[in-house]
Each structure stands twice: as structure tokens, then as C-alpha cells.
Structure 1
Amino acid sequence: MESYDYIILGCGSFGSQVIMDLIQAGKKVIAVDKNPEKVEVLKDQEIEALIGDIEKDETLKKLNLKDADAVLVLTASDQTNLNVVKKIRSLAPEVLIVTRASSFKAREELEAAGADIVITPYDAMKTSLLNQLKRAENLRKLKKLKNVLKDCKRLAIFTHDNPDPDAISSAMALREIAKHFGVAADILYYGEIAHQQNRAMVNLLNVEMLKASEVDLSIYDKFALVDSSGVGVNNSIPEDITLSIIIDHHPAENVEAEYYDLRNDVGATATILTQYIQDLKIVPTRMLATALFFGIQTETEEFKKNTRTADFLAAAFLYPFVDNELIEKMEGPALSTETLDVIGTAIKNREIFSSFLISFAGFINDRDTLPQAADFLLKLEGISTVLVFGIMKDAVYISARNKDVRINIGEVLKKAFGDVGSAGGHAHAAGGKIPLGIFGDVTDKQTLAKLVTEAIKRRFLMAVGIEAE
């Protein structure tokens, strides 16, 4: 007999459903049952099936058991399943055997007889129930989101300042969801889209985004914020703006909005929005799927940092719709001269304290060059934690990277600079902003650079438990 991916023994209601699911998944299947009527029903659906008593050796020997990916013994009788498992194990010692049991006792007997996987009604019901509860929770959230948008005709979706791929793609997804609910929406941002990768994403995907400083905000009925947790939290949203919707994956406290979804069990805000797209049964366009996939990929640093199961599942859902050529183009844009200069300055000014590296990157024009410098310096031998900072206009911007599992760099930055500015992030990556006002009216750049460096260095080293010299 030819080889099959799966051999199904027992074609009752449960076995028949399993057969259908496997065939829909593109698997090559053959079924065996002693009931001629059940076999005929399967054959009528053009499914390969044989009549035979699966408890007899001659029936099992006709099947190519050894070459199958798995043999599924799915009759409703525990005793029949036990007898068949024993026979299969003697005929094909290495084949994977999956069977069903009506009780825990029967499961123990089947496992002792050589079954690799034993499914009980309790296991199936528990898995199904948990999945349904999770889906119900997500649908409840989406119903609340829909209610918030019910009376809204035009929605403004803010990102954090100088938006990155996670923020951009999340805003794109929320705009699509708003459209699904019959609401027109615009994506607004403050700052600049200066990072080469971010610019490449916006240009290649033709993302429509508006500079918030050039827009009359009074034209909007409601405001949303993605990848940030409130007005003034890594953004320049005016204090008199009331946010109706907040969606973020960073830890936060005292969040106020009609609707908010804050999760620290995912690695990207784009993951949350992808789940929304799934639950609403919205088929993502090629551009939206590519953006969300790229957002998750970059935020988790190629699925290596702070990545959770939900991120992988979201990426798997998106992947069939993704344009891989566009992903490749966005991954490798040309390095700007300014970025190269900032990295060079950061290398030159580096100071090392044990496994910690601190560096002043100078007076910068693009804050997005700092994380690139931090990523580069983290590759140095013996370095596990990097903090790079630079001065831009009226503030000091900080970027930190960490691979020491004992340290949560987001908490360290919050402890070090939270009282003089805004700071925070995750265990592996974090950032902050400190107004220059705390350094007085110093105008001489050299003096200002020295004051800032000493203050940043002292506060950071104290936060990690090292005394500065």
C-alpha cells in the first residue's frame, strides 16, 4: 500500500470530523472502519477509506504504518483503542500514535500501552472553553471600542513623537478598524520621521500621515493614541486634548480614556491591533499586513527581544498577506551621514563602568540616531548595558539597550530620570527625555555638554548601584 500522512482508525462522528480537518489542511489521509456504511459515506466524498476490523492483525498489516506521520485511533471504545494501540506498537515501534480516552484512568492505560498522545473530553473541552473565553473577552473589548466610536464622525489617531514602525502600523490598523465601524480617521504625529527605516516604511507603503502641528485639531470629534499611554508621555499632544482611545504595550499607570487597552504581555502594539483585525474578520490589505508585520518585527528586534506567543501568532496570521520584497527594502535602507556621525561621536565619547557603557552622542538633529548608536555599542565585547544620550533643541534625549537578564532597563531609566523628565520602556530597550531647563541658562555648548554628561552619568550609575568617580 502507498504511504499516507495520516491513517485514521475508527470513523465515527469524531473521527470523520478529524478526517475533514486534515484533508482541508492538505494532508493525505486514509480511513479504516468495519462499518460499510461509514466507509461508503467517506468514499462518496472522494475520501480514501477501507472496510476492515482494526482489532485484527491482518487489517493493520495491510496498512503502511511505518511510513505514516501518525496513526490516529479514534473509536468511542476505550478497550478497542487499547487493543489497537498495543497491536500498532508491536507492528510499528516508531510510529506516532494518537488516540482518545473517556477517562483519566483510560488515558493512563493507553499511555502505558504505547500511545504518544491521548485526548480526553476534559482536555478538549478545557482548551475549547479557554479559547472561547479569550475570544469573548476580545469581542467585548471591540464592542466597547465600537460604542466609543458610535457618535464619532471624524477621528484623529495620534502616535508618539517621531513615530517608529510599531506606532505607524498600529495607527494604520486603527484607522482601518474605524473605517470598518463607519468612521473616517487621520493619522497625526509630532516631531519628524527622520530614521531611515521609518522613512522607507512610510514612502514604500505610501502611508498617509499628517503633521499634527499643521492641522486644525478642532475638526475632530474624538482623539485616539497608539503606542503611548497618555498626553505628554513621549508625545507633544496639547494638554487640553482629551483622549477617548488609548492602545499601548508599554507598562503605565493612571491611564484615563473612555476606552483603553494596555498590555505588557505582548511585544508590540501592532500585535494588539492585529488581534483586533482578526477578531473583526477584517482581511488586511497587502500594505496593512506588511506594515503590521514589520512593526512587530522591528519592535521585537527580529522576534528576539520581549517576544511573546501572541506576537508569533499575530505574525503567522499576517504572513500570507505580507509583501516580502517590501520588507527587505524597509529592512536595509541607506545609512544617513548624520547617523554615521552620531555613532562615531558615541564611540569616541564612550565611558565603560564594568559591563555598563555610557556615551554622550553630541548635539543632534535626529533623536532616532540614538537607538541606532546604542544598538551598535551593545555589540562591543564585555558590554551588557548601553546608555546613549544627545542634546536636541531644548531637551536631552536618552536611549538605552540591555541584554543583562538581571536588569530591567526601563525601570532603571524611570528610577534615574523619572523625577526630572519622562523615561521608561521594557527590560531590553528604553528611552527618555529631560528638559534642558533643569540645567539653567547655560548657553556655552561645551559647558552644557559637560554638565549634562555628569548629571546623566551620576544618576544612571546610582540607579544601577555603581558609584561614579
Structure 2
Amino acid sequence: MANFSKDADSNLKSTVKPRYLVLGSGSVGFALAKELRESNKLVIIVDKDEAKVETLREEGFEAMVGDISDPELVDKIDLKNVVVILFLTSNNEANRKGIENFKKAISPDVQLFSRASDIINKEKMEDLGADYVFMPSKLVATSLSRSLERAESVHRGNRLARWLKGIRDKKLAIVIHDNPDPDAISSGLALKEIAKTLGVEANILYHGRIGHQENKAFVNLLGIDLGKMEEHDLRGFDEIALIDCSIPGVNNMVPPNSYVGIVIDHHPPGETEIKAEYIDIRPNFGATATIMTKYLQQLNINISKTLATALLYGIRTDTQDFKRKTDPADLSAASYLYPLSNHGILDQLEQPSMAIETLEVLGEAIRNRQVLGSYLLSNVGNIRDRDTLPQAADYLLSLEGISTTVVFGVTEDRIYISGRSNDIRINLGEIMRQAFGEDAGGHANAAGAQIPLGVFSATKDRQTLLRLVNEAVVKRFLSAVGVESAGE
């Protein structure tokens, strides 16, 4: 029987190059050994099959005959400069014994990798000291899943391109949601760039205000061209695309039941049926800007510094710098955009000034807070800028013992509501929709609503109006979460 002893190979003893010890040369072990050698790594292979070992030597590998479960095998191998030992046989018991034997003889710096057929054996090997245990079936499934995601991405990119090519030389209205944020604005900008590349003229349209100091700075510093819905007649466009919103008339000024060509969004649509020729809604993504970045990559469209900066900022703000509802796709998109972005502008956007009204609303929110358990609700009264509400909701969520905040205020014709939550037991978007109807919704941890004043608008006394609004909003929200108000 061939023997690979400490004394037999002085060449291996003298080398200082890191070595990889592969125990088991089946399909997995042999494939890995080939990959390592192609990467210019030193590999030693051990297998109990003499014929296999002979074949490996003929192919230029350093190999020896040995049984992985044999306690004496450890003494037959020079472990100097070995950085990783891989137990790759298909026999779980042999791999476990190998881990147990080698763990006693190696230094703490040497990593032990092992193969397991199931989760039970994986846990046993980890308990024995293996640093990394993999299941081939799981790796194959994960690899296939990623390939399927890439195939789906290719399919989506081709479909979107085909749709846009079908309206070449026509006009496209890109409608983003009311009072748009950086995610909506940057996503609209991305679709406009894609459309331009494919010969389609497009305008980005919105209704409401660009409030929030960061949002104003975002548009001004990047010089983004946006049009007001009131200044454009949708009948002058050949097609409509809804971006970062999905239903005509809901958080946008497109007439309800209008025909829409494209819907691209990351907000859960709820139970409402989405109708459009091309629909791409991915609620698992933290930002629509991530979806649009994937399209730009798939269609191999050059991303300018302005567009990259806008998309990166859109992803960061909608995921709260990757702390809220973040998918691996958001991280990979941000990683792709980061070197293409203008970091000087990003630095300026991160240090905006706070408006006087924002401070005033924040003060009202603190003063008027109503706390029931871990829920905090606050009526800030009359507001001019609805974007002050989410800022106040964000701030109040940092108070001790609070897991969900709801801040609301009143304009001339509507009640605006903004909520934030870090309670994993509730889906705030669904609760808002349940409490306030279809003009409400959002994510599990960030949501909003707007309600027409309706019969309340006939109330002449403003203080009476605010009291009635407070009672209605608080009662409906607490009912939706199953909490009784203090007055009940």
C-alpha cells in the first residue's frame, strides 16, 4: 500500500506555500481539487481507493492512500502549512470521525470544512469543531435558484425593452407617486433613461410637493427635471407608466381605472388587482430604485454619475441606510452604484438643514402624544407640509418603550397620517389599509394614509374639527390593531 509519510516528502516539508488537504476524491473532492490547482494552490488528496490515488498521481496531483476515519492517518501527513482540511467523502460517519481525529492534532488557525448529507449531520459536525459544513444538495439548490433569478432578470429586461421598442418615437408619461421621495424620483429618472436609449421620449410627472429638506436638496443638487401633473394633459401622451405606485388614482393623479402600460413598484399591492400591459412588483425589495438598477444592468445601459447618485440615494433612504426591510438585491445594487456615484453630493444630502415647520410639528407631536402600551399616536393639528409627519414619526419611534408611532395632521381638505414601527408582530401597511381604506398602505414598518375630510369639512370651528379627527383616527387605528382606547 502506498504511504505518504512525513519523511517521504521533504519537498512538501520545506515549502511555505499554504496547502489544502482534501480528504475524499469523489465527485465533490476531485472537482474542488481541480479548481484549487487551477487557482495555483497546493493540494494534497487522500482517498482509500488505491486505483483512484494512482489515477490522481498520473494527472499530476499529490495523492496518498488513507482512510479518513483511521486515527493513525493524522500521523502520516505533514500538516505544516496546511490552512484548510476538507472532509469531502459521501460518508457522514467517516467525515465525523475525521473531524474528531484531526481537531486534536491541528492548531486553532487551521480551518475544517466538511460535507454533510442533512441538517442533523451538519449540526453534529459543527459540534465536533468543523468551521464550515455544507450540504451538496443545498448548494446545488442555491446555485440553481440564483441562476433562475438571473434568467428571470433577463426575461424581465427583454420584456420591458420589447414593450418600449413597441412605442418607439412616441411619448411616455412616467407618473411617480404624489409628494415623491428620492426612491420614486430616481426610479422615474432610470426609466426615462431606458426609454431614451430605446427611442422613446418620456417626461417624469408628479402631483403635490417636494417637501422634506433632503428631497428638495436631492432634486436641486442633481438638477433633476420633473413636471407637475397639473401642467400636463395626459391625453397628450401615448402611454403611461406608474413608478413606485401601482394603481391609477391611488397616491397619484392618474384618473381611476385609466389604462396604464407599465407598473413598476416595490410596495405590496394588497388585494387590489393591478392592471397594466407590463407589471413588475417586487415587495421583497427595499426600494424601487433597486429594481430599476437591475434593469439598467440587464439592458447594459450606461449609468451616468447623476443617475447612479440618484439611485444609490433612493435605495439608501427607502431602506434607512439598509436598516429597514433590506433584501440582498438592495445591497448588490448599492455596491454596483457606489463607485459610479458623486460622493460629494451624497455628503451634502446627508447634512440638510431642518425647516422651522418641521421643528414646530415635532414639538406638537411630542406635546400631544397619546401612549397606549407600546403604541404612540399624536395629532399635530394643522399642517402645511405633510412631509413633516414621517420625520416626526421616525423621531418618536426612538422613545423608550415605543414600538409603533402614528402621527397625523390636517390640511384644508385631507387628513394625512404617517406611521413607523419596529414591532415584528405587525404589518403596519396592512393595518393602515384595514383602518383607513385603499388610500392607505406601505411597508411592514413604514406606512401612511390620507383621508378626505368629507363630513368633517362642514365643521366651522377648527378646534372641534381637530378633536373629531383625533377621535376618528385614534379609534380606527386602535381597532385595527385590537387595542381598546382609554376612553372605552
TM range (shorter): 0.7 to 0.9
**Cα deviation code 1:50-74 (max 9, x no counterpart):** 9786979999638522xx4x45688
> CA 1:87/1:277 → structure 2, altered by over 3 Å: closer, same or farther?
farther
Shift of 1:203: 2.1
* Candidates 338, 345, 348, aligned match of 1:319: 338
Q: 2:383 and 2:345 mapped to 1: Cα distance? A: 30
Q: Secondary structure at the match of 1:400?
A: strand
One-letter code aligned to 1:380: L
Shift of 1:309: 3.1
Q: Secondary structure at the match of 1:61?
A: coil
Structure number with greater Rg is 2
Q: 1:57 and 1:355 mapped to 2: Cα distance? A: 59
Q: 2:460 and 2:238 mapped to 1: Cα distance? A: 43
1:92 paired residue number: 106
> CA 1:333/1:4 → structure 2, altered by over 3 Å: closer, same or farther?
farther
Aligned-pair Cα RMSD in Å: 3.7
> CA 1:84/1:416 → structure 2, altered by over 3 Å: closer, same or farther?
closer
Residue 177 (structure 2) pairs with residue 160 (structure 1): yes
* Candidates 131, 134, 155, aligned match of 1:140: 155
Q: Does structure 1 retain, via aligned residues, the 8 Å contact 2:413–2:457?
A: no
2:484 paired residue number: 466
Residue 264 (structure 2) pairs with residue 250 (structure 1): no
* Candidates 446, 452, 456, aligned match of 1:439: 456
Q: Secondary structure at the match of 2:416?
A: strand
> CA 1:4/1:186 → structure 2, altered by over 3 Å: closer, same or farther?
farther
1:366 paired residue number: 385
> CA 1:81/1:461 → structure 2, altered by over 3 Å: closer, same or farther?
closer
Of residues 231-240 and 372-381 in structure 1, the stretch that sits farther from structure 2 once superposed is 231-240
**Cα deviation code 1:276-309 (max 9, x no counterpart):** 2333344533333332222222212222222233
> CA 1:7/1:446 → structure 2, altered by over 3 Å: closer, same or farther?
same
**Cα deviation code 1:108-143 (max 9, x no counterpart):** 9x9699865566765554333222222222222222
Shift of 1:200: 1.7
One-letter code aligned to 2:150: R
1:26 paired residue number: none
Superposition TM-score, scaled by structure 1 size:
0.80
Q: 1:89 and 1:407 mapped to 2: Cα distance? A: 46
Q: Secondary structure at the match of 1:463?
A: helix
**Cα deviation code 1:393-434 (max 9, x no counterpart):** 32111101122222222222212211xx61112221110011
Q: Does structure 1 retain, via aligned residues, the 8 Å contact 2:19–2:44?
A: no
One-letter code aligned to 1:466: E
* Candidates 329, 333, 349, aligned match of 2:348: 329
Residue 252 (structure 2) pairs with residue 235 (structure 1): yes
* Candidates 382, 387, 398, aligned match of 2:417: 398
2:298 paired residue number: 279
1:43 paired residue number: none
Q: Secondary structure at the match of 2:398?
A: coil
Of residues 394-403 and 143-152 in structure 1, the stretch that sits farther from structure 2 once superposed is 143-152
Q: 1:306 and 1:169 mapped to 2: Cα distance? A: 19
**Cα deviation code 1:427-460 (max 9, x no counterpart):** 2111001112231423432232222222212222
> CA 1:212/1:15 → structure 2, altered by over 3 Å: closer, same or farther?
farther
Note the residue ranges of structure 2 that are not aligned, 5 or more in a row.
1-13, 46-52, 67-72
Residue 428 (structure 2) pairs with residue 413 (structure 1): no
> CA 1:7/1:210 → structure 2, altered by over 3 Å: closer, same or farther?
farther
Superposition TM-score, scaled by structure 2 size:
0.78
Shift of 1:36: 8.9
1:379 paired residue number: 398
Residue 471 (structure 2) pairs with residue 454 (structure 1): yes
2:10 paired residue number: none
Identity among equivalent pairs (%): 44
Residue 318 (structure 2) pairs with residue 304 (structure 1): no
Q: 1:157 and 1:184 mapped to 2: Cα distance? A: 10
**Cα deviation code 1:369-409 (max 9, x no counterpart):** 10001111222222222111111232111101122222222
Q: Secondary structure at the match of 2:190?
A: helix
One-letter code aligned to 1:211: K
2:5 paired residue number: none
Q: Does structure 1 retain, via aligned residues, the 8 Å contact 2:229–2:253?
A: no
Q: 1:54 and 1:205 mapped to 2: Cα distance? A: 66
Q: Does structure 2 retain, via aligned residues, the 8 Å contact 1:159–1:188?
A: yes
Shift of 1:367: 0.9
One-letter code aligned to 1:407: I
Q: Secondary structure at the match of 2:189?
A: helix
> CA 1:354/1:115 → structure 2, altered by over 3 Å: closer, same or farther?
closer
One-letter code aligned to 2:485: E
Matched positions, count? 444
Q: 1:349 and 1:179 mapped to 2: Cα distance? A: 49
Q: Secondary structure at the match of 2:458?
A: coil
> CA 1:442/1:408 → structure 2, altered by over 3 Å: closer, same or farther?
same
